[in-house]
Structure 1
Amino acid sequence: MSEPENHHYNKNLKPLARNLRKDSTKSEIRLWCELLSGKRMLGFGFRRQRPVGNYIADFLCKELNLIVEVDGYTHNFKTGEDAKRDADLQVIGFKVLRFSDREVMQDIENVRRTLEIWIEEKTGNLSQ
């Protein structure tokens, strides 16, 4: 199945993405299993380790043009790289929301609330 051109699918990154899916971190697995798989997030579908532009997104929702990243400890030393990546992805139409490993592992409910609020604001579908 080919990806729509407007979502900037980079088939050259497919093998690396496949390896990253097999080698997911504990926090990525938790976020996927508890919040993002099976259209659990307000009915929106996400894909794991998805090539987009010159990057591989941890989680991507094409419908929302949303990328969710889970940052481990090493990202503390990559703030410049992460900012460039986010800016590059924004230029091609994506919003990037970042959560730390710690947030996912110790406060998954806040991660859930943050995602739900962003989606509700984006879609104009505010729940009561």
Structure 2
Amino acid sequence: MKRLHVDRARGLRRSMTDAEHLLWLHLRNRHFSGWKFRRQHQIDRYIVDFVCPNVFLIVELDGGQHAEMMTADADRTCRLEGMGYRVLRFWNNDVLMNTEVVLEVILEALARAAPHPNPLPKGERE
């Protein structure tokens, strides 16, 4: 089962949408204010578009097909949030037409980084 997810994630990385490609140009290689992002990354049974694992922030991009999948997307978001992640969703069109605004929203979310949901006990931090 895990192999299936790995293969699917690789396929998604090879066939990114224009919006995913554009956003990845800004997020990759710590170009975005030094934050580390991964693309098409598996979390539990889901493959998320982008994740900043250090602060448990997920960025999902939705195309037109998601207008018909709003209930499933809401369930997915709820489950990911239940695992301690914050989820930002943007329409592909917003990424393509208002890239700077989308990047500002992501940067604000990073600035408000929530503490880790399972922090180490005080004596084990360093």
TM-score category, normalised to shorter length: 0.7 to 0.9
Alpha-carbon distance change, 122 to 25 in structure 1, aligned in 2, over 3 angstroms: same
Q: Does 2:36 match 1:45?
A: yes
With structure 2 as the length reference, what TM-score do the two structures score?
0.85
Q: Which residue is 1:105 aligned to? A: 96
- 4+ residue runs of structure 1 moved beyond 4 angstroms? none
2:23 equivalent in structure 1: 31
The amino acid across from 2:13 in the alignment is R
- Please, which of 7, 17, 21 is the counterpart of residue 15 of structure 1? 7
Counterpart of 2:123 in structure 1 is none
List alignment gaps of at least 5 residues for structure 1. 1-9
Query: Which amino acid is the alignment partner of residue 29 of structure 1?
Result: H
Contact 1:11-1:51 at 8 Å conserved across structures: no
Q: Aligned equivalents of 1:122 and 1:55: distance in 2?
A: 22
Identity percentage over the alignment?
33
The Cα shift of 1:41 comes to: 2.0
- CA distance, structure 1, for counterparts of residue 36 and residue 3 of structure 2: 20
**Aligned length in residues:** 114
- The aligned amino acid for 1:103 is D
User: Which amino acid letter does the alignment assign opposite residue 56 of structure 1?
Assistant: I
Alignment of 1:53-68 (within 5 A): 53-68=44-59
Which is greater in Rg?
2
Aligned-partner Cα distance in 2 for 1:93–1:11: 25
Q: For 1:63, what is the secondary structure of its paired residue? A: coil
> Counterpart of 1:64 in 2: which secondary structure?
coil
CA distance in 1, matches of 2:106, 2:27: 10
Give the SS at the match of 1:122.
coil
Q: Measure, in 1, the Cα distance between the counterparts of 2:18 and 2:57.
A: 21
Unaligned runs of 5+ in 2: 116-126
Change (3 A) 1:123 1:41: farther
Q: TM-score, normalised by structure 1?
A: 0.84
